[in-house]
Structure 1
Amino acid sequence: MFLSPLPERNGGIEINNFHQFKMMFFAQLKLTLREKQAWFWGIFFPVILMVIFMLIFSGGSDEEFQTEVAVVEPNPNPASDRMLGQISELPVFEVKSGKPVPRDKAEEWVKEQEVDAAIILPESPEASSVFLVVNKENEQGAAAQAVYGILDKFVQQANLSAAGAAPTFDLKFESITSGNNDLSYSDFLLTGMIALSIAQGGMFGMVDLVEMRRKGLIKRLRMTPASMGLFGLSDMVMRLLFSIVQIVLLSLIGVLFFGASLYINPISLIIVFLIGALSFNALGYFFSAFSKTTEAYMGVANIVSFVMMFLSGVFFPVETMPEWLQPISNILPLTYFADGLRASMVYETSAANAALWAGIGILVIWGAITFILGSLLYKSKAIAADR
């Protein structure tokens, strides 16, 4: 699409397309490598960002939930003894000291936040109340709400047993995945951070076009025999190389330091990576087309990046978001790029998978539309400048 079958002349010397592309590529690579900011934002910043979020979110996320409680048995009786035995057998409850304690001691532990809650058992076989005591400051906390929910289900079960009605069904928990391998939170976060880093590299990487247009360099380049298509292609290839460095470096850090497990399908990964990186480059190209200053470009890129960072399933699955937000997430390109990287890097999904290609199709649509709009804007500005 970018290549012209005819050689171009510069001062009577023929310059074929490959030689012209090679000179442009190495010129842009040298300029980029000389820029310390390019190294920081392209390589070191994604690493720092991923390490921070992995430290915050991945620690202990794969462990089973367990909460420490105190149990008070004011007046031991057959009903309270039975409930105490059943509570002690629940794996989610760790009974502090391993036995009932006086109520004042239990309440002191709750106040000092040494336990998440205190469970007060019935005083007599005729008593119908089981009390749950929590710290008021943590009343709406996840641990207190979890203890309340578990204890509520436990009391309902005890009511059925007391009435002599044995339940017909019991609830057992299982988890399944759509792929061959289980997805831990470290795997989920690592692939999400890789997708975010590559996306930000594309969206922020075209800022140099704004500066070149402002200084009139693009106009001067149009007056030379140089091909603008080859100029754009060389810039994209250079940025793809940066993205390859990002994906390799971030993967090594995730696997070696945070215990992430990767099961890569090379063909699927190459397809998703190339389409995703090019799509976000096109998005950055579109931003540069209507931004008159570097500040304006960075403002737009920051807003879009911030929205996609938290609504595209980078840190948490889209399904856990409020229902009214999910339709927004389902149209954002980063959602499908992150899903595609997880499918190809963790689930080892084949390139023949229909769901994978559905996400790739949405990335292609985003890339094509933004590239066409950006090209039209550049063309209209060029025509206006020539008049």
Structure 2
Amino acid sequence: MIATAGSQRRWRRIFLVVGAIVAAYALLAPLSSLDAAQSAGIPLLTDKFWFRIATYVVMFVVLATAWNIIGGITGYAAFGNVAFFGIGAYTTGMLIAKAKWPFLDALPLAPVLAALFAALVGLPLLRLRGHYFAVASLGVGVAVGELVQNIDYNGQPVFGGASGLFLPIYAVGHRGLFFFYLMCGAAAVAIAVTWWVLRSRFGYGLIAIRENEDAAAVIGVNTTAYKVAAFALAAALTGLAGGIFSQWNVFINQDNTFPIEYNVQMILMALLGGTGTVFGPAAGAVLLQLLIQFLGGSLPISFDLPFVSSEARPIVAQVILGLLLVVVVIFVPRGVIDFFGGRTRLSLSYLRRSLRDTSL
């Protein structure tokens, strides 16, 4: 028992050190692109292409961490959180493109409107449970995207319609660096909020709902209020990421702000890293998004799949992601944070227990 505990602590320390080194490099390497760094002779460690990939990775850290609040901590598997991403993107986009607001003035309203919408639809939706809630939330995500694309006023699309919405480019020095660190700030906020939730009375109430909602109600937890609050909190963080994305990408439409695959990806990221944990969804987002970019041939390091054309690579990537989801749910249901953190180890008994826990 003592040896096992020592091994767990050692693996946890190794995991934390490696994670800290990777995070430090990812945060500090972009500074090599500054003029002062180049004048000092520091080698360029990143470029514009790296900035784009890194910003996407960090964006999914926010999305997966936000989903974890309602899906991992509360236990309600929401499949429509992309609606909040789109609402945040269009809130910022409309205020900038139509009302001529400055970006930094428009951005705070993105999480506010996303949270208000989540509270509004959450009151009826969160009375459902299990697959009923999952399907209903998915329907909301699809419906909001269709409404945004098809709402007209006097024959003119309100939100740009199928043509989308073009935003003026935000005039700021080192634009890629600015939006990368802005998205990192949103990720830090999402992780900090998760940390606070897990250590608060509010978080204990959400965990009680996840474990047994009827028992939680008996001991005095206002389950409806707690669930709606968690849903709104997740929506606010997701909307914040959407608001940043709209100005960073300059162009938004239904395809890039309400993509259904984002729902699946953020859930898989949380599952891969470890639901109900602080850093699990973030770790899962980094691993899975890099895998997606790698399989899609977007990373500098790539390989040719035998008998697969370049046009078919995205399809193969989706197949691999589907298989990965099955493997994670069955064999690593607690995520890589738990597995590589030393709390569990690969053995026949571990695989048997995982199969037993994930079977009906």
Q: Bigger relative contact order, structure 1 or 2, given CA contacts below 8 A and separation 6+?
A: 2
State the TM-score, normalized to the length of structure 2: 0.31
TM-score (norm 1): 0.29
